[in-house]
Chains A and B, each alone.
Chain A
């Protein structure tokens, strides 16, 4: 690249309009992301029409900034209120909310902010320098790999189960069953739809998530309200920037999750929701403090938050190089690109290189700005906890209804959200975890579709087909290791004890 192009890119990026768009994108993204039900996909969809009239660079920088910032913003509501702002931050709620209850919300937000920033930054750098090879890698994944990736993901349920493995598995199976609702794509047959057209495309994830996590949380908050004692946990006003010990503890997790997030991101069939769970689970698998997970582990927060923001840059890679969106949000972004007359593919990096690279660098800058805004804003976010419960509950309920309606403009989804709210409340009261339900709903359809497609693609030789594909074999080994490792570890520990 010669210097004139670089100068052109810099000139494209540092215009007043672009810088304003960048700032608006970051702040707006964090706010929208933090509101339960308003996901990054919706944020981008809402703003795509506004970018039509803007300069291409400014418009696209704003959209990508919103994408990554909304993904980060989702963690704030997860940590503070146990109401994930986006599906990608559901995993963060598990440990983040525990820390809030212990009065360490500031610490949790600090870790989440820094992890998101690093994850997003790394994915942006990957987008800038590694886009072509990573796009090739993404093409090596197809139906069999998605099937196995989903199965591998489902092994996470074992580690989410908490006290009772049976209850955890039952929750996971419930999620898988819910995932079968709707028209089967392979045969076109409607399953469990009871003649209701709204059920034909399945139960939407967002209303279910809002119900299981947010509304059930409201019910639990309502319970406490009756006791006249105000149970406001005193928040320790620690510094927001994570201290050296915390950083040292979480840095390996952040880097690992960033890598995993980019990998999940480049896959067209998996987005931030899958990425965050994979990041969370691998954080636990490699952690020396497994017992902390689910009780307020900063590694857990770092694991899911670095991964879901790394998905954003990763998902932009196949979008920009091949026109194949790597997540549902980037599918909407594709519309934004096209409207600007920017058709993905070679042209984007040749004829329109100055625009494309300016957008990519803008995306990297957006991630840094997002971290700064997050760290400065955190002390105001935490004030949400000081809002009297009666007002807070009202606001959360309104947002729950609004968010579940807005996803498909459908009242049916609002009823679904209410149903899942009651279900989630009953589950939590009886010691069932709600996270495996969500995981089953996300991964079940991916697994089923992948297997169905593999059956046709393998043309009757399914076993040979799977074993002839290197990435499939790697996944199969990983699945076996994931299933066996707890038993092997236990055996080794026993041996050691008897020897010593």
Chain B
């Protein structure tokens, strides 16, 4: 009996292991009836976070367009680069695609101490999905300043602490840009994520909250915080009454964007199929509505334009290199 159980166990195991093996025979060849098997979508952040939630909302619409299963796989670590490394090294047959976040993907290889051998050039853009501009907000009981003009005037003579989520993150770039262009004395306090940032400002431990608009939407609606400005060229559809920095006379533009990318070297036909499927999925009205309910502004751009936007993001980071000490 014991032997039988062991034997059965071995059989099950070996079957399971066989099922895990990759079918690596049909390498990157042109594939007329692409796609014919499930596609892996690498999300380089953990399940339940903003990027992951957005990807999982998109997934069913992408599946409808492609006609195959799309598996969201979370590959976390290295500020996203564990996932992006794996994506860059994956076979470019269209069956492995991934989510990209800017500026994280860019600052990740611009930081010289990390010695990365990959860059934007290792990927091809499939299309942009979401854009979420950065905002600056203060507590509702802040009495030193109540507009962005007053804030900048105050911060020229006084030091203020500001939340950020790590070196070279979009929040950090906002802080550095203000310091560089307008002589403010903003000092970044780095937290693990927007949740801790919000708690630090609500509790009165840090002066200013810099975060993405989507991350503070409920606090804004509940009037727990006052949003002073949006770092975009047009107002956020979720905060119509908040002016852009540009309107207030400050040329600060910073957002965090998300889109889909694939390893370079895709067959043109496969690439075109993926791009058009993504366009239809992203621009689907129902999908846009669902994203808007969560405060995510859907912003479709095609693959080439998306890549151009990422290139511009790269230039912006290069501009701030000296302040980052890179």
Contacts and interface: CB of A to CB of B under 8 A. Distances in A.
B199 A200 contact: no
B82 A345 contact: no
A45 interface: yes
Interface stretch (B61-69, B119-127, B200-208, B275-283): B200-208
Interface string A461-488: 0000000000000000000000000000
A156 B82 CA distance: 35
Contact of B78 (A189, A198, A333, A456): A198
A24 interface: no
Nearest to A146: B196
Nearest to B166: A185
Contact of B166 (A188, A331, A332): A188
A332 B82 contact: no
Given A345-B222, A346-B222, A186 B190 contact: yes
A154 interface: no
B47 A45 contact: yes
Contact of A338 (B73, B113, B294): B294
Contacts of B114: 183, 190, 200
B195 A343 contact: no
Interface in A183-202: 183, 185-190, 195, 197-198, 200-201
B82 A410 contact: yes
Given A183-B79, A408-B77, A457-B205, A335 B53 contact: yes
A322 B114 CA distance: 35
A197 B77 contact: yes
The contact size tier of chain A is 35 or more
Given A48-B48, A188-B166, A339-B57, A268 B76 contact: no
Contacts of B191: 185, 453
Nearest to A408: B76
Interface-centre pick from B2, B166, B167, B222 (highest chain A CB count, 10 A)? B222
Nearest to B218: A345
Given A142-B203, A186-B190, A388 B2 contact: yes
A344 interface: yes
Contacts of B159: 459
B52 interface: yes
Nearest to A344: B218
A142 B47 contact: no
Contacts of A49: 56
Which of A197, A331, A394 has the most chain B CB atoms closer than 10 A to its own CB?
A197
Contacts, number: 154
A55 interface: no
B48 A345 contact: no
B199 A268 contact: yes
B49 to A, nearest CB: 7
A325 B50 CA distance: 13
A140 B98 CA distance: 39
A139 B189 contact: no
Contacts of A48: 47-48
Interface in A112-171: 138-143
A449 B224 CA distance: 26
B187 interface: yes
A456 B161 contact: yes
Interface string B178-192: 000000000111111
Interface of B: 2, 5-6, 9, 13, 46-49, 52-53, 56-57, 73-79, 81-82, 85, 111, 113-116, 159, 161, 166-168, 187-192, 195-196, 198-200, 202-206, 217-219, 221-222, 224, 293-295
24 contacts: A45-B48, A139-B203, A142-B199, A143-B205, A183-B79, A185-B190, A186-B190, A188-B111, A188-B167, A189-B113, A197-B81, A197-B82, A197-B85, A198-B78, A200-B81, A269-B192, A331-B195, A335-B47, A336-B48, A343-B217, A391-B5, A410-B82, A453-B190, A456-B188
Given A331-B48, A341-B294, 17 more contacts: A48-B47, A139-B199, A185-B166, A200-B77, A200-B81, A322-B219, A323-B195, A323-B219, A333-B48, A335-B47, A335-B48, A339-B57, A339-B294, A341-B293, A391-B9, A452-B190, A453-B190
